[in-house]
Amino acid sequence: MQGGAPGLKRRKIIIGQKEEVRQWAFGCYFSGCISDELQRRQKFSSGESCAINNAAAPPPAIVAISDSSVHLWVLGQSDVSWSDKPGGRRNHFEYEIYMKDCLILWGRDPRDKPAVNGNVLQAGAHEYQFQYVLPKSLPSSFESQDVQFKGRVHYILRAKLDTPDESVRSNSDRIFLVLSVMDLNKEHSAGESVQLRREKQMCCCCCKSGPISCVLRLDRTGYVPGEDINLDAELSNMSRKEVAASYVTMQQIVHYHAHGISRMTSSDIFRISGGKIKCGDNAFYHDIIHIPPLPPSRLDGCRLIDIDYVITIGVQPTGNGAAVEVNVPIVIGTVPLNFVVPQGLSVSPSFSRYSHSSGEIEDYGAQDFERGKFQHVYTYYKSLYKRAETMSITEVT
């Protein structure tokens, strides 16, 4: 976003309704208008309210602007970057463009040469309507949380007052969010239960010992944010070594790709640790993992960033032995499985953000966006979460 130029007081880019968070799926369109007021005022609107104010000192009054044009650029791209190590000399960077379209709202095409007696924008208020249809197969908005590895998918509306007079020419950017639809009902095996087992034969002082085994059970592998994962695990220690610790995690794994080179980062969404398991003992776990607002799996449509989610149950034997783990990939979507939603019940998501550092979930509304508090937000099915809470209370009572 750039500050106001002489002759420009205020600029607004408005999309949709005031109460809506600016989030669209591909194939949708947004529309609105741009209104301009010379002599220190300019306003962009598109059917919703989101102001970008320029608090510059009062400039001289301008009667008219010669050879002027009003353009709205719709931009979308992803980019990734990282260094081989902190402070490393070799940097990796790549980007891909999804949209770079210019809507000519008034005046000439930006590719045309300026005319000697071109369009004249008179002082006063001016309003320009616009409409744009999002292309198909756009990836969802995303921004990585890692310090070393940077990756993002972002979309921008850029309003431009174009004129040979550099003192009046100005740009204003307006970020908007895209959330592609990922229907779990179309994902293979998302509604099927899964059970995986792993066993490792241990050795003790060059003598063969019994095995350590882990069994992980999930009622299904497809979920939407706001749901709970019901997890059952069985740990068996038939070895001569004591198990020092056990753990259950849900991780978000992000792969970054640039010019044939890939890097991976992981972050814990959920982690709980268990105690020791003595030789010859078993341990049984039943955990509930709540899914916060998260970007959908895979990040379809983006070839530079992949997102996966994995549930892991593991045990760490005493000594220097490697951990024994069972990993089950799960799919995070935006549309819940049909059999999860009771017949006759209509559910719709809110939009919320999740903090990886604090673990907090924060509701997000248009007023936050208007105050400049931009964050990537995702679908969050509060109704499914509240229903699960109510059912748990009913079962207890």
pLDDT for res 61: 45
Instruction: Using the Cα atoms of residue 154, residue 157, residue 163 and residue 165 in order, give the sign of their dihedral.
Output: negative
Q: What percent of the chain has pLDDT over 90?
A: 43
Range of the domain at 241: 184-338
Q: Name the residue among 209, 232, 230, 213 with its Cα closest to residue 282.
A: 213
Do 267 and 236 share a structural domain? Answer: yes
Tell me the one-letter amino acid at 285: Y
**Mean pLDDT for the stretch of residues 285-293:** 93
Per the CB < 8 A criterion, the answer to whether 137 and 348 are in contact is: no
pLDDT of residue 46 exceeding 60: no
pLDDT for res 345: 72
Do 354 and 326 share a structural domain? Answer: no
pLDDT of residue 186 exceeding 60: yes
pLDDT band at 130 (very low <50, low <70, confident <90, very high): confident
pLDDT band at 346 (very low <50, low <70, confident <90, very high): confident
**Mean pLDDT for the stretch of residues 337-361:** 84
pLDDT for res 396: 34
Q: What percent of the chain has pLDDT over 70?
A: 73
**Mean pLDDT for the stretch of residues 75-90:** 85
The answer to the question of residue 89 being in a domain is: yes
pLDDT of residue 391 exceeding 60: no
pLDDT of residue 309 exceeding 60: yes
pLDDT for res 167: 73
Kindly report the number of other CB atoms within 10 A of residue 264's CB atom. Answer: 11
Q: Report the domain count for the chain.
A: 3
- According to DSSP, residue 47 is labeled S
The answer to the question of residue 196 being in a domain is: yes
Site of tokens 């190590």 = 85
Per the CB < 8 A criterion, the answer to whether 35 and 74 are in contact is: no
User: Of 338, 364, 381, which marks where a domain is finished?
Assistant: 338
pLDDT band at 110 (very low <50, low <70, confident <90, very high): confident
pLDDT for res 29: 59
Per the CB < 8 A criterion, the answer to whether 34 and 27 are in contact is: no
Residue 355 C-alpha from the chain's centroid = 12
Do 205 and 166 share a structural domain? Answer: no
pLDDT of residue 24 exceeding 60: no
Per the CB < 8 A criterion, the answer to whether 154 and 141 are in contact is: yes
Do 245 and 228 share a structural domain? Answer: yes
**Mean pLDDT for the stretch of residues 129-151:** 89
Cross-strand bridge partners of residue 170: 161
pLDDT of residue 393 exceeding 50: no
pLDDT band at 43 (very low <50, low <70, confident <90, very high): very low
The answer to the question of residue 1 being in a domain is: no
pLDDT of residue 243 exceeding 80: yes
pLDDT for res 55: 36
pLDDT of residue 336 exceeding 80: yes
Do 266 and 170 share a structural domain? Answer: no
The answer to the question of residue 322 being in a domain is: yes
The answer to the question of residue 2 being in a domain is: no
**Mean pLDDT for the stretch of residues 169-194:** 89
pLDDT for res 371: 53
User: Of 162, 178, 194, which marks where a domain is finished?
Assistant: 178
Average pLDDT, the chain: 79
Of the listed ranges 99-108, 137-146, 153-162, 356-365, the least confidently predicted one is 356-365
**Mean pLDDT for the stretch of residues 182-196:** 95
User: Of 156, 178, 200, which marks where a domain is finished?
Assistant: 178
